Structure 1
Amino acid sequence: MTEILKPTRRGLLRGAAALGATGAIASPLVLREARAQAAFNWKRFSGQSIDVLLVKNPRSDLFQAAEKEFTELTGIKVSSEQVPEQQQRQKAVIEFASGKPSFDVSAISLHVQKRMAAKGKWFADLSPMIKDASLTSPDFNFEDFGAGAVAYARQADGALDTLPYFVDYWMLYYNKELFDAKGVAYPKSMDEMAVAAAKLHDPAKGVAGFVSRGLKNANVPVWACLVLGQGIETTSAEGKLLTDTPEAIWAAELYKKLNKDTGPVGSVGFNWNECQTTFMQGRAAMWLDGIGFATPLEDPSKSRIVGKVGYGVTPPGPKAHHAGMFGDGIGISRGSAKKEAAWLYIQFITNKAQQLAMLKAGAGAPARSSAYLDTATIEASKFGKQYFDCLLNSAKIARAALPQIVPVTEFRDVFGVALTNAIGGADVAAELKKATEAFAPVLAKSEQG
């Protein structure tokens, strides 16, 4: 972090401390200097410019929409870029590895890059800035951030190198009109999802019973959420792989059945955006993914199913009922020369008003607790009570879906291929066994390093 106080001012403050220790009365000049350092001023870094790397999604749209207001408030100019998820992650890895990233601020997926960021020392610790009254607005109220979200973002050494702003719970979007037309009830279990999908699947009319991510790497969270229905995660608390167990095989078989038998043509290449497009065009009856992708579904200029969308909590599995939990954080590049201006940006785009705007827009679950207390806003929202009930009920049963390991991207790559092969007709157990054997040494090496 660049030095904020000039040496002469430090000397004055040290002098004031010394006088206080001896019972002497501090001079008016010293008192004025001390008060000046404690005062917060949004315009303090006016004239600076910062670069921001974002992931392409509805939350980033809200960030960019707020940039003009931020610049008017602070005098700081923002140049931000939205990059599709997979490419953004690759860009972050490459640029942070160079030691000289082109951006001052970056958003990251905590469920993918948290431990990688810690190991590579990507970000500056935000804790000292949060505690600095001259850098943090009096109304920022850090305590408003949910304890769970903060714990999710905090590193093992205690550093808070990103501020959590979004927690994503996986749920089941469903087309009420299609369900009603065929008299299908909302599935009460994961197995019933497959039964309902088969009833709703109607290729002759261009309607798939179910859609989810089929693209390798992107598809792993779908399988991981199904694994939670067996009461386990893909790794144990001790870091042991549970990816070729009977429970993991069951989840992969269900994934294969849903996507191969009742998915749209070409779904093997789908990421979330292709799934979203298919669903909001009325060409899929169900879509399992994050609640943060709801925004365009109720937008008449983009969606054909406005008012027809159902928001359901992920159905329980054979042994447990969990909603997969993912999350995003935003941090300041350790090598940035504009850390203070970058911190003003972060605290502005994560303030109470912006977090509430996220909730109002249906862009996901904010990390701040206060957003959920605004009942008037919730009642007036275009998303309706079912959306918020789904969000709140999902929070009660949330569980991290992906393993919190360093090589999580490699994990997704290796098992993503297995799942893609399964959709193509390959034997599930054989694919998972092969993937587990291939990944085991990668995980072991990462734990030793």
Structure 2
Amino acid sequence: MSEFTRRAALRGAAGLLAAPALAGAARAQSGFDWKRFKGERVEVSLVANPRSTLLFQYHKEFEELTGIKVGAEQIPEQQHRQKFAIEFSSGKPSFDVINISLHVNKLQVGRAKWCTDLRPLIADASITAPDLDMADFSPASIAYATQADGRLDTLPLDVDHFILYWNKEMLAAKNVAVPQTFDELYTAAKALTDPAKQQYGFVGRGLRNANMTLWSSFLLGTPQRDMIDGNRKLITDTPDAIAATQQYARIMRDCAPPGVNAFNWNECQTTFMQGRAAFWIDGVGYAAPLEDPKRSRVAGKLGYAVVPAGSAHRHSAFFCTGLGISEASTRKGPAWLYIQWVLNKQNQARMLATGAGAPTRLSPFSGEAASSGGTFPREYFTTLVESIRIARPGLPEILPVTEFRDTIGTALVNCLGGADAAGELKKATDAFRPVLEQSERAT
């Protein structure tokens, strides 16, 4: 056992400290040695997205700071989830640091204890740099990353808030105002739809499983808001859920391109950046490619707004990812330094300034990029700040979340094809309810 591993184990009791106390312990140190693991290597497995692309650009910075060599991979989201689950189950994962989609895999990773509890490391002044500054992370993101038993087995990397992208040129051509409600969104999108010109008022995720993240935006606007109730019971076949489904299906059928029931974010992004859709509701992290004049026809013509209001509420659905250390790793020291570097204030500010996503730290929002507009218009930053204020999780925190998304997502696809929303949701809810109940009993 290494000196680092023994010391971390001895400080296990200190890991029970709350976040503010951890922050104080981290700030109290001085003279931190970033070179203590010089000559070692850390293997990192990341999801392929703008955040990872940004980190790859600066890995040399980490290597120069620490003397640690980084071996990193970017894998598409679905394949990444399958890969790390297989590797963790084998007991010999190839990575030291893993990127986790908390809205999908948090409970899976937590129950299996695949990742190291980071609290003892945070409390250890010899291994944690002063500028980790736990108090700078939003309380909501830390709560989202914390397991039910109090273990903090990831630190939150980014929060993906859903926003409304809109094409300024298309709206101006017909003097259409930015919609404030979902009813207004449908009316505006319908007015801007002209299939003969391959011009559509709206584009959004219709593919099974992926469609749940868009559908949740409509459900969050209803009086119900949630997919499970306070007693952990499934409530996806209620009048509010039916109304949300009808609203979702109507705009997708009447105002979106043909074949939208097979669209994930990539197809939506391509359609929107080609100038063929007026509105798109999706994650804030897609701003960078949309504003790139080399790739996008809507660069400089892009508007940003908070997701429209429903009949009772206005919420921005959010989804969160985190970084954890494999419990099986023999290089936890280098891995912990890597996570601290990724989550430092400079990298989080870079994420915000480049449009790669929404940081989980608070300080970037008071920085130069947000106050001056930086690379992006001020509207982008104000929309993000407003979305943070009304953020609410876009998926329930349950273990079989992938099966849940598949089951309810199939009902949504059928509704896009014209099936009755009430019948489809009842069938899907009846099918998934025992799956959820069984998983809850196993908790």
Alignment TM-score, normalising by the size of structure 1:
0.91
- What residue number does 1:262 align with? 255
- What residue number does 2:301 align with? 308
Q: What's the secondary structure of 1:381's corresponding residue?
A: coil
For 1:167 and 1:277, the matched residues in 2 are separated by 23
Q: Does 1:428 align with 2:421?
A: yes
For 1:376 and 1:287, the matched residues in 2 are separated by 25
- What residue number does 2:214 align with? 222
Superposed displacement of residue 362, structure 1: 1.0
- What residue number does 2:14 align with? none
For 1:116 and 1:275, the matched residues in 2 are separated by 29
One-letter amino acid matched to 1:4: F
- What residue number does 2:143 align with? 151
CA distance 1:376–1:287, change in 2 (3 Å): closer
What are structure 1's unaligned runs of at least 5 residues? Answer: 11-36
| Cα displacement string for residues 330-367 of structure 1 (whole angstroms, at most 9, x for unaligned residues) | 11111111111011000001100000000101122111
Asked whether the equivalents of residues 360 and 378 of structure 1 are also in contact (C-alpha less than 8 Å), the reply is: no
Superposed displacement of residue 106, structure 1: 1.0
For 2:370 and 2:379, the matched residues in 1 are separated by 14
For 2:426 and 2:168, the matched residues in 1 are separated by 39
- What residue number does 2:4 align with? 4
- Choose the corresponding residue for 2:188, options 187, 191, 196: 196
For 2:441 and 2:370, the matched residues in 1 are separated by 49
For 1:215 and 1:3, the matched residues in 2 are separated by 49
Superposed displacement of residue 313, structure 1: 0.3
For 2:183 and 2:5, the matched residues in 1 are separated by 62
Superposed displacement of residue 377, structure 1: 5.2
Q: Does 1:86 align with 2:78?
A: yes
One-letter amino acid matched to 1:137: A
For 2:118 and 2:58, the matched residues in 1 are separated by 22
Superposed displacement of residue 76, structure 1: 1.1
For 1:358 and 1:93, the matched residues in 2 are separated by 27
Q: What is the correspondence of 1:47-66 to structure 2 with a 5 Å cutoff?
A: 47-66=39-58
- What residue number does 1:17 align with? none
For 2:399 and 2:440, the matched residues in 1 are separated by 8
- What residue number does 2:326 align with? 333
Asked whether the equivalents of residues 369 and 375 of structure 2 are also in contact (C-alpha less than 8 Å), the reply is: no
- Choose the corresponding residue for 2:67, options 67, 71, 75: 75
- What residue number does 2:337 align with? 344
One-letter amino acid matched to 2:339: I
- What residue number does 2:439 align with? 446
- Choose the corresponding residue for 1:238, options 231, 234, 247: 231
Give the share of equivalent positions with the same residue, in percent: 54
- What residue number does 1:14 align with? none
Q: Does 1:411 align with 2:396?
A: no
Superposed displacement of residue 2, structure 1: 4.7
Aligned pair count reads 421
Superposed displacement of residue 73, structure 1: 1.0
Q: What is the correspondence of 1:82-121 to structure 2 with a 5 Å cutoff?
A: 82-121=74-113
Alignment TM-score, normalising by the size of structure 2:
0.92
- What residue number does 1:139 align with? 131
Superposed displacement of residue 324, structure 1: 0.8
- Choose the corresponding residue for 2:203, options 192, 198, 211: 211
CA distance 1:364–1:376, change in 2 (3 Å): closer
For 2:368 and 2:231, the matched residues in 1 are separated by 42
For 2:31 and 2:313, the matched residues in 1 are separated by 51
- What residue number does 1:249 align with? 242
Q: What's the secondary structure of 2:277's corresponding residue?
A: coil
One-letter amino acid matched to 1:201: T
Asked whether the equivalents of residues 2 and 338 of structure 1 are also in contact (C-alpha less than 8 Å), the reply is: no
For 2:6 and 2:176, the matched residues in 1 are separated by 70
- Choose the corresponding residue for 2:164, options 172, 175, 197: 172
For 1:444 and 1:376, the matched residues in 2 are separated by 47
Asked whether the equivalents of residues 30 and 130 of structure 2 are also in contact (C-alpha less than 8 Å), the reply is: no
- What residue number does 1:32 align with? none
Q: What's the secondary structure of 1:264's corresponding residue?
A: coil
Aligned CA RMSD, in angstroms, stands at: 1.7
For 2:163 and 2:6, the matched residues in 1 are separated by 52
- Choose the corresponding residue for 2:385, options 389, 392, 410: 392
Superposed displacement of residue 6, structure 1: 8.2
CA distance 1:135–1:383, change in 2 (3 Å): same
Q: Does 1:372 align with 2:365?
A: yes
